[in-house]
Every structure is written in C-alpha cells, then in structure tokens.
A and B are shown apart, each in its own frame.
Chain A
Amino acid sequence: MIRFENVSKVYTRGARPALEDVSVDVQRGEFVFLVGASGSGKSTFLSLVLREHRPTRGRIYVAGRDVARLSSWRVPKLRRELGVVFQDFRLLQNKTVYENVAFALKVIGKPRSVVRDAVPEILDMVGLSGKEKRMPTELSGGEQQRAAIARAIVNRPQILLADEPTGNLDPTTSLGIMRLLDRINSTGTTVVMATHDDEIVNEMRRRVVELSDGVVVRDEASGVYGERESILPEVGRSTVLDTPARGVRRLSAIRRPGHEPARAFTHGEA
C-alpha cells in the first residue's frame, strides 16, 4: 500500500538529509507505528506519502501510484485516498463538528445526498453523535481529535496517516483514540501513526518502524517502543555537585585566647 524504495530527502542542499536511503513496505490493512526522537524524520516520512514534498532520491508508491513522478494536478486524486490527523486537530473553529466533517466532502464536490448520509454515520462511528452542533471550542481534546478523525475518514480513504494524534491528550483519552484507530484499521484501512507515546506502542504490539537521524534503525512486527534515551547523561560523583553549598552547619569554632568564643554557624546564617 505504501512502499519506500531507497528514499532520501534533503530539504536544503548541503544540509543533513531528513531521510536517508529509507526502504519500507507497508501492506494493505497493516497498522504501523513510526517512532523515533523529534527530528528523526517521522514527519518527513508522512509528508512524502502525502506528496507535500517530492523525494530527493528513490521511489515512493502510495496506493499504486508513483508519487515522486505524479504531476501536480493529479495530487488531489491521490490525497482522496489518504486521511490525515494531527496532534493539534486542525479543526475549523468557525464551523460546527458536523460542518467540519461535511467540509471534507463538500470541497471534493460530493453531492449533498452523500454528505447527508455519510457525516452522521461517521460521527456515530467515532462516538460523537449528539454533538454535531457543538463548536470545536465546546469539545474536550479527545472529542476534538475524534472529530478530526471523522473528517479524515469520512471519504473512506485506503490509508490513514496520524502524526502524533495522542500528543496533546491524557493517557486515558489517548487510549480511547487508539481503540478508535484500531477499529478503523480493522475495517481494512491501513494506518501509519507517528508517535512518541511508548505506553501505547508497548500495549498495542503492532509493527514498529524506528527512525533515527533519517535512517530506519529498526523494523519489527509486534514491536515495542524500545529504549528511551535517558533525559540526563548518567554521571558519577562530580566535584561540582559534591561541593558543599553555603549555609552548611559548622559544628565547632576555633578558640582564640582573649576572644569570646565565636558562635557556631547555624543553618541560614552568614
């Protein structure tokens, strides 16, 4: 369904490539997690599938089309086979939930009757029936993401791309979104999801493709998120950290003849 053949992408000449010699084959109906640190190339991967950019080298096939050689005027047709959801939902704030989902059909010229049938059905599927008339600001984060997912799949795309769809959500809400994506996947839609959420990846046990600096470093079926890099480098005792700070209690003072004994320093005194 999606095939990358030795794909490299360089945004500005001379810069480090965002993707380097990436070969990945995603089958129809698969669920794939794309993991890796920020800047590892996950978003570039998705934008190449969407044909927002062309690869610098290599071939990309999406839904049977050679994306790199696709002429601009055929791109809309490709994108109708793709649904996309983002971390920040990207709902139109001046439209209701219903209008947001209907918008995706209207702008590709679907007849009114199709819109009237498809939108309530899809809103029901994502669990938003009864909230058609709400504005996005009146929805919780999870509900907003459900509306965004409804918009992405209302045209029944073959592939759903999700760029950190749970990035703005709490763990419980994230789980609900994952169940929804899983259900969409079970209807035969191929799902590719870029994520940082190790709990979700570890729990779902689906195929994991890990990118690091634009290179595929791991591609395993039923994988886990893998080792996280620790936040701070591990260090032993360092002179800086072990140097006593000011305000340390001094227990004894040097006595000098003819002088009052100095008062012991106590915590907080100079």
Chain B
Amino acid sequence: MRFQFVAGEVAAGLRRNTTMVVAVVLVTFVSLTFVGAAALLQTQIGKLKDDWYDLVQVSVFLCPTGSMMPTCASGEATERQIDAVRDIIDTELADEVEAVYLETKADAYDAFTERYPNGYQGTQLTEDDMQASLRLELADPEQFAVVSDVLTGRDGVELVEDQRAVFEPLFRTLNVATLLAAGLAGVMLLAAVLLITTTIRLSAVSRRKETEIMRLVGASNLFVQLPFLLEGAIAAVTGALLACLGLWLAVRFLVTDWLERSVDWVAYVDSGDVLAVAPFLVLVAVALAAVSSVVTLNRYTRI
C-alpha cells in the first residue's frame, strides 16, 4: 500500500513538472559528465605512470643481452659492473642521490605482466626480454644533468633516462584539463543543486493541498516528504546514468576505437574505467538530490 501510494505520487509529480524534471536531468547529465571526465583524466595519468614514476626521477638501464651501445660490448651487465656503478653512486653522487633501488629482470617481468596481462602489442614476452635497471631517487630532481654526466658511459650502463622529461609536459596538460573539467563541473553542480531545489519547491507548492491534508490526518514526516525526495533523486540519477553512458560512448569511440589505433604504445582508459567511475557519479547525483531536498523540504512541508 505504502509503496504503491508513494510510487503513484512520484509518477504524478514527475508528470506534472515534466519541463523542470527534464532540465534537472540535463543539468546533472552535463555536470556529472565533467566530473566523470576529470576522474577519467586522472585515471589516464595513473595509467601512463609506471610503478616507479612517483618514487624516483632517474632510471639507469643496465645492459641487456645484444645491446649495440659501446658500454655494453661485454654483453649483459654483470654483478661486478652493477656493484661498480652502485659504488660510484654511493661515493661521487652521495649528495645528489637519496635512494637507490635495483629492479632485476624478474622484478621487471612481474611489473610488466601486471601492466600488460595480455602481452604487449600481441607478443608475449619472457623474463629474458626484460632489462634490469637502477632507479634513483634524487634529493633535488633538478640535478638530473649531474647524475647523467657521472653515470653515462660507465661499463654496464646502457642508458640514463630522466623519465620526467618524457611525460611531465603531457601530465601537466592533462592536469590542467582535469582542473578545467572539475571547475566546470563545480559550476554545473551548483546549477544542478539550485535547479533541483526549485523543482522540488514547485512540486511542493503545486501539491500544497495534498500535503496539508496529509499533515492533518497524521501522515509521518517521511511519508509526506518521500515523494518529493524521490522525484529529485530520480531526476538526478537519470542525469548520472546519462553521463555514464556519454562517457562510455566517448571512451569507446574516441579512445578505444580511434586513439588506441593511432598511438598504440600507451595504455589508455577503457570501458572498465568508466564502469569504475559510474557508481561514484550516481552517488554524487544522490547526494545532490539529498542536499537540495533537505534544504527545501524543511521549509515547504513542515509538520
């Protein structure tokens, strides 16, 4: 009885305020699309960084088998060569280098299989295809040139790489885009709250007589307010679901079908990431509706 009654009231309310409800759906749709886009941009940044990115600034790749570099003429870097490099780091670079991590071929393979469980570009690699490296954490990240000068050309060292030089500009761009999306999302969310508030208020005013009778015959506060709460929530959640659908389509067609085919060496966000963001978007929608309802209903349907 209760459920049927509330459902009937909600349906009636949604029908009566169709234009406002559509407006709420659209505004939440747009705002949550921006929220979702910001979240996906951050996910993308996370995918571009490997496990070492936030920890170290310099990667010293040790000679693998078959390297053409002159320093690798003796073949794969030996234990002695590695120890020699570490000695140099500990003595000559003691001021610059804060910490040293050795990533063995086995470690590298583990990290690789974790990132690319289905192989890289269609090829399954083995542990022997991996390259051991020393990862250096610098006291001052700007000191890369000093470290590079000292270590480049040592026996057993194939390449010294400042990994920030590659990705930092891209990350900066993505972060700016995230901020932009989040900023727009904030403005749109505010608009959504105001719009939901107005919609609920209109709905409450148009059903003033009903709610007055409900109060007088002793309907509980929750029972009086529930239809309005649900109206706001349904509109907002519909907007959220549309946002999820929009993001999913964007990722599917823009990223998976287009970007991934053009530039294929990067791990991109995929539909799975959209699904991971979706519950969060729905939660935000519910929270929006709840906040707006609490603000409005206490004024318009007080016992």
Contact = CB atoms under 8 A, between A and B. Distances in A.
Interface of A: 50, 72-73, 75-82, 84, 90, 92, 103-104, 106-112, 115, 151, 155
Nearest to B217: A104
B257 interface: no
A92 B212 CA distance: 10
Contacts of B5: 106-107
Contacts of B1: 106, 109-112, 115
Of listed A84, A107, A108, residue having the most chain B CB within 10 A? A107
A111 B223 CA distance: 15
A118 to B, nearest CB: 13
B303 A107 contact: no
B218 A109 contact: no
A109 B216 CA distance: 14
A82 B216 CA distance: 8
A104 B212 CA distance: 11
Contacts of B224: 107
Given A76-B218, A104-B213, A109-B2, 10 more contacts: A73-B221, A76-B215, A77-B218, A78-B218, A79-B215, A79-B217, A80-B218, A106-B1, A106-B5, A109-B1
A104 B216 CA distance: 9
A240 B5 CA distance: 67
A76 B220 contact: yes
Nearest to B9: A107
A90 B213 contact: yes
25 contacts: A72-B221, A73-B221, A76-B215, A76-B219, A76-B220, A76-B221, A76-B303, A77-B218, A78-B218, A79-B215, A80-B218, A81-B218, A90-B209, A92-B209, A92-B210, A103-B213, A107-B5, A107-B213, A107-B214, A107-B223, A108-B218, A108-B220, A109-B223, A110-B1, A155-B217
B217 A107 contact: yes
Interface in B189-229: 209-210, 212-221, 223-224
Given A92-B209, A92-B210, A112-B1, A107 B219 contact: yes
Nearest to A152: B217
Interface residues of B, number: 18
Contacts of A80: 217-218
Which 9 A-B pairs rank lowest in CB-CB distance, beginning with the nearest?
A79-B218, A80-B218, A107-B219, A104-B217, A76-B218, A107-B214, A76-B220, A106-B5, A109-B2
A170 B11 CA distance: 40
B26 to A, nearest CB: 29
Contacts of A77: 218
Interface string B1-42: 110010000000000000000000000000000000000000
Contacts of A151: 213, 217
Contacts of B209: 90, 92
A90 B221 contact: no
Contact of B217 (A72, A73, A108, A112): A108
A89 to B, nearest CB: 11
A155 B217 CA distance: 9
B219 to A, nearest CB: 4
A78 to B, nearest CB: 7
Q: Looking at A50, A75, A76, A80, which has the most chain B CB atoms within 10 Å of its CB?
A: A76
B210 A75 contact: no
Contacts of B217: 79-80, 104, 107-108, 151, 155
Contacts of A103: 210, 213
A103 B217 CA distance: 9
Contacts of A107: 5, 213-214, 217, 219, 223-224
A140 B212 CA distance: 23
Contacts of A155: 217-218
